[in-house]
Chains A and B, each alone.
Chain A
Amino acid sequence: MDTTAVLVPDSDSDARERAAIDRSCRVPVLLFFSVAIFWLLMGTLFGMIASIKMHVPDFLTTFFGVPAGELSFGRLRPIHLNIVAYGWAAVVGIGVAIWLMARLCRAPLRNAWLVCAAGVLWNVGMIAGIFSILLGYGNSIEYLEFPPFVTFILFLAYALVSVWAVDMFVHRKKGHVYVSQWYLLAALFWFPWLYGTANILLNIQPVAGSVQGIITWWYGHNVLGLWFTPIGLASAYYFIPKVIGRPVYSYYLSAFGFWALALFYSWNGGHHLIGGPLPAWLITASSVASFMMFIPVLVTAINHHMTMKGNFHMLKYSPTLRFVVFGAMCYTLVSFQGSSMAIRSWNYLTHFTHYTIGHAHLGLYGFFTMIMFGAVYYIVPRLTNSEWKSARMIKIHFWFCAYGIIAMFVALSIGGLVEGEMLLNPKGAHNTFPDIVEATKPYLIARSISGLLLTVGHVVFAWHFVLMLVGMGRRTAGATLLTEASEEREGVAI
């Protein structure tokens, strides 16, 4: 059982090697993080406006008294989705992936210009895409709303990152390949294939009929399952053992979990179309695969839990660990929930309701975003050679986001079940469509309030990051901890 890739014995030469690697990552990783955090704020803003519009439909519909399509819910909602998915999640994910690859390959960054160019190109594409939707050129293919010329730019940017990653991997320092590297390489290999297929068959040369529906959800599910999830899990597999200073519990479980995820996840997409106009075998196959997802998820959960066992007290003072463990727990929860939503009878109740939206936020936010926050807290001090300025700000960030996402999840889940129950009983006395709309309003208001909590967390986080960037971090030897640590954590990287 070899996990030396994570547990590098501390010696001067190793420390020097790590410092050299961090130095080489400095510009590209901070570039990706800065842009990602900018998009996070923009995504939050668009999300808030769209959320308020759902219970106050006349909110912000005119610009200086003139009705404006650019402020319409139908455009702002896909903009929110595309910003948080491709502006925030993908970009911060690539930033973390760059640093993890360099650290795990134990080699300074090669060809930094490649990733920097990719970062610039990606953001050119993002801006073009956002304006396309805003000005009324969105195509309503969920997760792929950008017009073809934009997806071409994004594809090119992404291809550069993939080429860079393979080049890094080829030139790695020989030795063990850690499971995080599998996840990262796989994600970087799968995504261009996924994005390319979906764009060609839906956007550029659309195929006929409802086969588009299954391709959309093959893409939509895999972009979460085979792109964001692997990056999130690669980070969890790296940071949990790293922070607590123990090897991952079982190498075999991590390998098994990886291959089971790769096989089953790629078949999941059809469960978004239960009851839809597609062949029954397809929906059934996807439902079975969704259920099989219990295996990799359970395996990963056990592995992380056993690694953490005996070290849960460290959640009290390590910011990274607190965010990452919160995210890992959400991963287990959201995956089990996702599997259950593939059960036909349960799906009939929850499908088409806000329950699904709650599920999506638990995944992309509770799991992925929270882990990325943890990663940023770990990586940035190593790039800026300074420590986070304020434990208090980190705490505010954590609690506002943790309570915010929990509140959002609970509100949307309950609201969705109420909505689903009423939708399924059209003969009920008070189940006309306007009744249903009225019944969901309190939950939509609750969602806006939870969004405000997230907004506070994000603004504090962004401000803290800016302070680090302009060199206002603390210049002390020890890391910034949430509470004073006991002596047992001597010498452990936080």
Chain B
Amino acid sequence: MNKMTTLFIGFFLTFVSGWLGLVIIPYFQIGQLKPQVNEDTGESYPLVRSGLAERGKVVYEAEGCLYCHTQQLRPIDVDDDHSRGWGPRRTVARDYIYDKPVLLGTMRTGPDLTNIGKRQPNEQWQYIHLYQPQIYTKESIMPPYQYLFTVRKIEGARSPDALDLPAPYAPASGYEVVPTDDARALVAYLKSLDHTYALPEAPLPKD
């Protein structure tokens, strides 16, 4: 057998072991998980997102929210996620079955967002925070997302969803700041993020 064949068989065998272990076996183990249906209420978990929220997820991906925010909670024995009020339980594989791509994240430059829909359901807060995060948290290093909003002249009555911005961020008088479709979708997505219900493999702890 010549040297080249031997080498390539070695390359193949070493690489295929990791490929089987980290790609193929996990695919068969957790790649076909089904939603959990509550027999009493007929509710199915994880919750299915609305079409608008699904579009908002695409905005979340395009704007790179994932580079500073995780969507995964670690086991309760690492107390930090739980005590910080980010969620009552760890997240498990089933939580992510509708996500393409999954947005687990790797950095917590900002807080975890697994349950942000539950923690901060106020739309106006989300809009103002996206527009200029430092309005609520002066230490924040989150970038402003003002390009997801439109400044326009008030024609007749002020729009119901115009932002109540404090000075110095408020627009000139006679003008208003309103969210674009992208901002609406993004906030709908953020509001949809809620994994505070129990799953059989991840029950809620008894406090």
Q: Which A residues form the contact surface with B (CB < 8 A)?
A: 53-55, 57-58, 61-62, 66-69, 72-75, 77-78, 136-142, 169-170, 177, 182, 185-186, 189-190, 193, 197, 201-202, 206-216, 218, 222, 226, 259, 262-263, 265-270, 272-273, 275-279, 282, 285-286, 289, 348, 351-354, 356-357, 419, 423-427, 433-435, 437-438, 440-441, 444
A138 to B148, CA, bound (A): 16
CB nearest to B29 among chain A residues: A279
Residues of B within 8 A of A263 (CB): 14, 17
Q: What are 7 inter-chain pairs, A to B, with CB distance below 8 A?
A: A57-B144, A140-B101, A212-B100, A214-B22, A270-B22, A277-B72, A426-B84
- Looking at the complex, which one of B11, B90, B100 makes contact with A190 (CB distance below 8 Å)? B11
Binds A, one of B47-55, B63-71, B120-128, B160-168: B63-71
- Which residues from 1 to 27 on chain B have a C-beta closer than 8 Å to any C-beta of chain A? 3-4, 7-8, 10-12, 14-15, 17-19, 21-23, 26-27
Contact of A226 with B101 at beta-carbon distance under 8 Å, contacts A72-B147, A267-B22 already known: no
Nearest-CB residue, chain A, relative to B27? A211
Does B181 have its Cβ within 8 Å of any Cβ on chain A? no
B106-150 vs A, CB cutoff 8 Å, 1 = contact: the mask equals 111111000000000000000000000110011111111111110
A189 & B8 in contact (Cβ 8 Å cutoff): yes
- B104/A73 in contact, CB under 8 A: no
The reply to whether A282 and B31 contact each other, CB–CB distance below 8 Å, is: no
The residue in chain A whose Cβ has the minimal distance to the Cβ of B95 is A277
Contact between B7 and A182, CB atoms less than 8 A apart: yes
A-B contact count (CB 8 A): 239
Please determine whether B84 and A197 come into contact, CB atoms closer than 8 angstroms.
no
B62 at the interface (CB under 8 A from A): yes
State the B residues within 8 Å of A (CB).
Answer: 3-4, 7-8, 10-12, 14-15, 17-19, 21-23, 26-27, 29-33, 60-68, 70, 72, 74-75, 78-80, 83-84, 90-111, 133-134, 137-149
Q: Give the interface centre of A190, A273, A276 by most chain B CB atoms within 10 Å.
A: A276
Q: Which residues of B contact A272 (CB under 8 A)?
A: 106
Of all chain B residues, which has the CB nearest A434? B139
Q: Which of B21, B70, B137 contacts A352 (CB 8 A)?
A: B70
Which of A67, A218, A267 lies in contact with B146, CB distance below 8 A?
Answer: A67
For B67, list chain A residues within 8 Å (CB): 73-74, 77-78, 140
For A201, the chain B residues whose CB sits under 8 A away are: 23, 27
Q: Chain B residue with minimal CB distance to A441?
A: B141
Shortest distance in angstroms between A448's beta carbon and chain B's nearest beta carbon?
A: 12
B148: nearest chain-A partner, CB-CB: A69
Contact B15 A190 (CB under 8 A): yes
What is the distance, in angstroms, from A248's C-beta to the closest C-beta of chain B? 18
Interface centre among A53, A142, A209, A285 (most CB of B within 10 A): A209
Check B64–A140 contact: CB distance below 8 A.
yes
Is A353's CB under 8 angstroms from B63's CB? no
Chain B residues positioned under 8 Å from A356 (CB to CB)? 106-107
A437 lies within 8 A of B139 (CB): yes
B172 to chain A, nearest CB (A): 13
Chain A residue with the shortest CB-CB distance to B149: A67
Question: Can you name the residue of chain B whose Cβ is closest to the Cβ of A186?
Answer: B11
Separation of A369 and B33 alpha carbons in the complex (Å):
42
Which chain B residues border A440 with CB–CB below 8 Å?
109
Complex: A262 Cα to B8 Cα, angstroms: 12
A78-B64 in contact (CB<8A): yes
Does B19 lie within 8 Å of A193, measured CB to CB? yes
Q: Which residue of A is nearest B100, CB measured?
A: A206
* CB-defined contacts of B18 to chain A, threshold 8 Å: 218, 222, 265-269, 289
Contact for A279 among B17, B30, B79, B98, CB less than 8 A: B30
Contact A75 B63 (CB under 8 A): yes
